[in-house]
Amino acid sequence: MTIRYEINPPKTSDPPSRIELLDTRIEQISNFCDGIHVTDSVLGIERISPLIIGAEIKQKYPKLNVTISLRVIDKTIPQITDFVDAAIHANLDGILVLMGDPSPDNDYKSGVIPSFAVSSLIKDGFDKKITFYLSLPSKPNFEKISKKVNSTPNGFVTQVIHDVSQVKRINDYLNPKNFKIIPCLLFPSTKNSRSAEFLKLDWSNYKNDFSSFVLEIESITGDVLLTSPNDFKGALDFLTRLQN
């Protein structure tokens, strides 16, 4: 059973106290999860590099499975290669390669797409040193994701899942092809309700028994990524109960 927790790095403009708060939260949650995933600049808002945060986590908690996001929208293949090389030297476990959003301050686009980046990295043998993931919608059109499948990443991380049937459908298609699936689940709480609205997520079928929902999905894929962008305490309490 692998339960990962997603964290967003502080913004580059945040005061040092935000970094101290993040360190405290990582220390707390590391006792109740198997891995931590560090996101890249969400919605293009510049944040401290996930590479820096991920490396610090791995150094302090070497037994944790640490993965990070890599946004390719504004990176060339040489820049992507340098990023991956640094992640390997930091002993990180995996990289989620995604398009990402453009920065509000810089509209440069490299033209690189995630599937091409992964194909290039695998061609150069980086997959022997670190695990690569690509993102998937919760309801993928399997014909339209053929480029992602053909780029042969180690696995896929889904966008936020609405119900168990979505996970079963994805798993039934991709598991026989030897892809690892990591479903992303949003912790249901009042503080996260705005995120749910933004994602058009209906959590009515699981909000009253989230533990069973998580365990059922984990029984299908063996892996789950929990996100709780606005309710750390709620997620920590939940993971504490789940482990106990």
Cα 92 from Cα 65, distance rounded (Å): 8
Cβ atoms of 186 and 196 closer than 8 Å:
yes
Question: What's the length of the chain?
Answer: 244
Question: What integer pLDDT is reported at residue 44 of this predicted model?
Answer: 62
Give the angle 231-98-179 at the CA atoms, nearest 5°: 95
Cβ atoms of 74 and 104 closer than 8 Å:
no
**What are the sequence ranges of the domains in the chain?**
2-243
Task: Choose the CATH number for 2-243 among 3.20.20.10, 1.25.40.10, 3.30.830.10, 3.20.20.220.
Answer: 3.20.20.220
Full pLDDT tens readout for the chain, 244 residues: 799 999 999 888 888 888 899 999 999 999 999 999 999 876 667 789 999 999 999 999 999 999 999 999 989 999 999 999 999 999 999 999 998 877 666 666 778 899 999 999 999 999 999 999 999 999 999 999 999 999 999 999 999 999 999 999 999 999 999 999 999 999 999 999 999 999 999 999 899 999 999 999 999 999 999 999 999 999 999 999 998 8
Question: What integer pLDDT is reported at residue 78 of this predicted model?
Answer: 95
Question: What integer pLDDT is reported at residue 104 of this predicted model?
Answer: 65
Question: What integer pLDDT is reported at residue 12 of this predicted model?
Answer: 83
Question: What integer pLDDT is reported at residue 106 of this predicted model?
Answer: 66
Question: What integer pLDDT is reported at residue 242 of this predicted model?
Answer: 92
Cα 61 from Cα 27, distance rounded (Å): 9
The pTM assigned to this predicted structure is: 0.94
Cβ atoms of 99 and 128 closer than 8 Å:
no
